[in-house]
Amino acid sequence: MRFLCLLFCFTLFVACANEGQEVATEETEMTAEAVETSNIFGEPFEASEIMAVNDFSQKVAMEGLTDTLETTLRGTVNEVCQKKGCWMTIAAGEEEMMVRFKDYGFFMPMDISGREVVMHGKAYVEETPVDELRHYAEDAGKSAEEIAAITEPKREMKFLASGVELLEASK
């Protein structure tokens, strides 16, 4: 009788331990799956209106941008910081829009050139000094000659993104 009681307790203990492991494994798998499919970086956002960066660029060229504008834009990534993904540039007609991330709070994957993104945040126009332009060129992996050729500040469209959605690559 004592043996049966011990056997029953042991079986119950093993069954409970295995059940806990299965649950933990399922939770781990769900978490890993959620991370793999997440295309949102920074703060999640919902936009009632999304403007193409090219359209926004044309509007800025025609009307000028004298103030910071909170907006949601969609565009194609030209380049990403190759040190850690801390900035990216977006094609904006013949120009580019420099995008940085709010509070340095998130980074983008470094291999997303050519991919489309939707980003929410603040658009503005600012003059970028030579030393900052050279810093970005260095981060982008430009040659010493290309970096040395930067001798003038540049007035450019910029965007401070609080959230970015990386859209699915077309197949």
What tokens appear for 149 in the block? 């050729």
> What phi and psi values does residue 131 have, to the nearest 5 degrees?
-60, -35
pLDDT single digits (tens) 59-98: 887 787 778 889 999 999 999 999 999 999 999 988 899 9
CATH assignment of the domain containing 106: 2.40.50.200
What is the C-alpha to C-alpha distance for residues 99 and 93, in angstroms, rounded to an integer? 15
Domains held by the chain: number:
2
Tokens 């540049």 sit on residue: 154
Q: Is residue 171 part of a domain?
A: no
4 and 65 housed in the same domain: no
Tell me the whole-structure pTM to 2 decimals: 0.71
93 and 130 housed in the same domain: yes
User: Within the chain, which residues score under 70 in pLDDT?
Assistant: 1-38, 170-171
What is the C-alpha to C-alpha distance for residues 105 and 42, in angstroms, rounded to an integer? 7
DSSP assignment of 72-111 equals EEEEEEEEE-TTTS-EEEEEETTEEEEEEEGGG-----TT
78 and 154 housed in the same domain: yes
15 and 46 housed in the same domain: no
16 and 99 housed in the same domain: no
Provide the residue range defining the domain that includes 122: 41-166
45 and 34 housed in the same domain: no
